[in-house]
Amino acid sequence: MRSFYGLLTFMAIFSGSISGLAQTMAFPEEELAKESVLPRFDVPNSVRNRNVVVANKFELGGFLGSVSDEAIFNQMQFGLLGTYHFDEFHGVNVSYGMMGSGTGVYAKALKDAVQLDLTNAFGPKSYMLASYQFTGFYGKLSILKNLVVNTHIYGLVGLGTVMYDGLSQMALDFGLGQRFYFSKNLALRFDLKMVRFTGPNPIYKPSGKSQNDSINDLKSGNLKISDFETTNYLLTHITGGLVFLF
């Protein structure tokens, strides 16, 4: 009991001392904190609300682009794509692309320069790819502080087929892409994909056959796809398109 009264006495004296010390204190400028410190939480929750929610939604759209390092055939491509998003991060993407018809500028140059006419060689007509899509990044972009655009960055890896006239070859694809949203449902989508497959080699010249005979065979148009030897392709697909989420 005595110690309790002693404590109260000390508090009374100490409170009087505090009230006496309640003055404005000036700290030197260099001792003031210049950095803000944020608390660290055990369960961080960086994003509470997403403007664009893709979980359990379909995404449908069309695209236009090029096979930018195709040497012989038309580089242009166009097609349709669809994605189902299982949640905000994981989804499956299916794309069907059709290749532009005919040969490209380099094949025309070969025909003019050395009479090697590859018009009748077999090139890919279309392809279908089913890819796992991992959308790891979701963000917002301020455009000159006037407009906010939502965006997703994703990676793709998958399998599919490349279709020729009378032949389908298995293909492997991987790549990256980004979507920029005009609204919660409409977005621009850009993809950069590498597509790996094995297919007929348009540079036709079987062993034992002369150059002239091979050139004549190519010109005749009587060759079957099985007459061409196979070669490996690793081609770059760059596409851009419009997609709709629902």
Partner 1 sequence: MFHGLKRLINSSVLMTSLVGVCALAAPEADIDLDSIESEMSRRGEEQANQTAPSETERRSEDNKPVTFQELPKLSNFSDISIIQKKFLPKSYRFQLYGGLNFLTNNPFFDTYGVNARLNFFFTETIGLELNYWRHKVSDRLVTSDLSSKYNITTKTMLSSNGYMGASLLFVPFYGKMTFMDKRIIPYDLYVSVGGGVTETSYIDKAAPSVHLGAGEIFALSKSLAWRWDFSNVQYTAKVPEVSTTGALNDTGKKRTISDLYLGIGVLILFPGATYR
The residue ranges that bind partner 1 (CB under 8 A) are: 5, 8-9, 11-12, 15-16, 18-19, 34, 44-47, 68-72, 88-89, 106, 110, 113-114, 116, 136-145, 149, 151, 153, 192, 201, 203, 205, 211, 214, 231-232, 236, 238
The minimum distance between CB 82 and partner 1, in angstroms, equals 24
Nearer to partner 1, 172 or 238 (CB): 238
Residue of 232, 89, 235 lying closest to 173 (CA atoms): 235
Question: DSSP states of 17-33 as a string?
Answer: HHHHH-------GGGS-
Nearer to partner 1, 20 or 166 (CB): 20
Cβ–Cβ < 8 Å for 243, 91: no
Nearer to partner 1, 20 or 221 (CB): 20
CA 86 → CA 55, 154, 174, distances in Å? 6, 14, 20
d(CA 60, CA 82): 4
1 Cα distance to chain centroid = 76
Residues 6 or more apart in contact with residue 193 via CB below 8 angstroms? 129, 156, 173, 174, 175, 177, 236, 237, 239
Residues 6 or more apart in contact with residue 138 via CB below 8 angstroms? 47, 50, 52, 88, 150, 151, 152
Structure tokens at 192: 């950069």
Nearer to partner 1, 11 or 60 (CB): 11
d(CA 192, CA 174): 9
The minimum distance between CB 170 and partner 1, in angstroms, equals 18
The minimum distance between CB 134 and partner 1, in angstroms, equals 9
The minimum distance between CB 184 and partner 1, in angstroms, equals 17
Nearer to partner 1, 8 or 64 (CB): 8
The minimum distance between CB 5 and partner 1, in angstroms, equals 4
Cβ–Cβ < 8 Å for 79, 96: yes
The minimum distance between CB 205 and partner 1, in angstroms, equals 4
The minimum distance between CB 106 and partner 1, in angstroms, equals 6
Which residue is listed with tokens 């301020």? 142
Eight-state DSSP code of residue 146: T
Single-letter code of the amino acid located at 55: A
Nearer to partner 1, 56 or 130 (CB): 56
Nearer to partner 1, 60 or 176 (CB): 176
